[in-house]
Amino acid sequence: MRRLPAEWEPQSGVMLTWPHAETPWADQLERVESLYAELAALIARYEGVLIVCRDADHAEHARGLATGAGADPARLRLGLAPSNDTWTRDHGPIGLLTDGVRPLLLDFRFNGWGGKFQADLDTRITGRLSEAGVFGDAPREESPLVLEGGAIETDGRGTLLAVTRTLVDPLRNPGRSREDIEQELTARLGIRHFLWLERGAISGDDTDGHIDTLARFCDPGTICHARGEDPTDPDYAELRAMEQELKALRDPDGQPYRLVPLPSPAPILDADGERLPAGYANFLIINGAILLPVYGDPADAEAQSVLSGLFPGRAILPLDCRPLIRQGGSLHCISMPLPAGVLAFAP
């Protein structure tokens, strides 16, 4: 039996694909590498960190930056694979548990969010790492479906939450209906209950509405979500429409979900005056902590307070993600947790 675990379940580590000069981060590489080093050090307080690098020299460079930021060297592992970009959530493996305990890594196709960006190297990263033995004995299984990890959210009990257009898309999965995709996800991920949204989007997002920028399970009965607060904001109508859809959802027992709105930071614009995708739903859950993207905004403290109430017993660790949103994503988008049993590190 297969089960897609919730992000709050035990992890062996988090996978990061490290930036380099041939990625779109080139014009702010030093700044974004500093962020990655700080992130690796924060994760390493609680679990392992798998850092994917383009070659051996790049790996030693990344190791030096991470340890220089305070990461425990014993909790770092370096893997080698060429990359186009660093959105690990969307090109990394999706970890399952089979028979309750044995990990299985699903390798779905990644085509740059429907061909918007080059992804020929990224889609092969999981296979290259698996062939090199980076994932130990965890088997890898390929699927012909285009599926990005940021497009799906689960309660760990067989329920999947997603925005329809990020999967049912002629540029991602031509010719596949929602029913076809549900059958594939049931077979591959053990999903038994589907929650589909049609509305919801934030400005500056290249993914067409990944759920990890919009709504997240906090426990099997609770969903936190981005919320439109200013009627003059271009995102207001879509987020309010999404909120109405969330109110109509029911869990497998027919009960409504407890919905908890997240605050909204003030708009952050790029040099051309375009809105960047700043939001708090893109947090990362790790063993013992929540890593929260912050943006130098008064709402940062409110978001920290909301998540502290939703995840009692976990530290809430803020990380300034203003460099990340310049490329269209945030903290959750650059990271992929691996379930217990995939990576082995000293306690």
Contacts of 133 (CB under 8 A, 6+ apart): none
In a domain, 345, yes or no: no
In a domain, 269, yes or no: yes
In a domain, 347, yes or no: no
In a domain, 143, yes or no: yes
In a domain, 74, yes or no: yes
| Whether 321 is catalytic | no
Nearest CA-CA partner of 2 in 101, 88, 116, 113: 101
Instruction: Provide the domain count of the chain.
Output: 1
In a domain, 344, yes or no: no
Structural domain for 169, as ranges: 2-339
Output the domain CATH number for residue 53. 3.75.10.10
- The single-letter DSSP state of residue 267 is P
The first and second tokens of residue 328, run together, are: 């269209």
Residue with token string 């779109």:
24
SS3 9: coil
Question: Most distant CA pair in the chain: distance in Å?
Answer: 54
Q: Digits of tens for pLDDT over the chain (347 positions)?
A: 999 999 999 999 999 999 999 999 999 999 999 999 999 999 999 999 999 999 999 999 999 999 999 999 999 999 999 999 999 999 999 999 999 889 999 999 999 999 999 999 999 999 999 999 999 999 999 999 999 999 999 999 999 999 999 999 999 999 999 999 999 999 999 999 999 999 998 999 999 999 999 999 999 999 999 998 899 999 999 999 999 999 999 999 999 999 999 999 999 999 999 999 999 999 999 999 999 999 999 999 999 999 999 999 999 999 999 999 999 999 999 999 999 999 987 55
Q: Which of 53, 224, 321, 333 is catalytic?
A: 333
Angle (deg, nearest 10), helices 29-44 and 56-68: 70
